Amino acid sequence: MVVHGNDNQVDLTLSRIEQAVGKVTDLVANDVMKLIGGPCVLSPPIVCEGLEVIPIATLPIAQVAFACYSQPLLITLVERQAVM
């Protein structure tokens, strides 16, 4: 495996994979914040495996799909619904 020029073998546990996916999500989120330009607050990313998960009381507003070694990665940006 080659990651950032490091060809040492890495123990790819589920926890490490989730951390890596969370970091990619953080990078995407930071770029989205720059595009929005207005005040906003980002919650920590939710990393899950399986069916699409949308947190309760949120609306999906954008999705970006990636693939790596034929495995899908879907990043969904959601907006918290206004409390009335």
Specify if 20 maps to a domain.
Answer: yes
Query: What is the average pLDDT across 73-77?
Result: 82
Cα gap 80→84, rounded to integer Å: 12
pLDDT score of 8? 57
**pLDDT (tens digit per residue) in 8-53:** 556 778 788 778 888 887 888 788 888 877 777 777 777 777 766 7
pLDDT score of 51? 67
Specify if 1 maps to a domain.
Answer: no
Buried b (16+ CB within 10 A) or exposed e, 4-16: eeeeeeeeeeeee
Specify if 55 maps to a domain.
Answer: yes
Domain membership of residue 65 as a residue range: 14-80
Query: What is the average pLDDT across 60-84?
Result: 80
Specify if 63 maps to a domain.
Answer: yes
Query: What is the average pLDDT across 51-62?
Result: 80
Cα gap 83→74, rounded to integer Å: 27
In the chain, the number of structural domains is 1
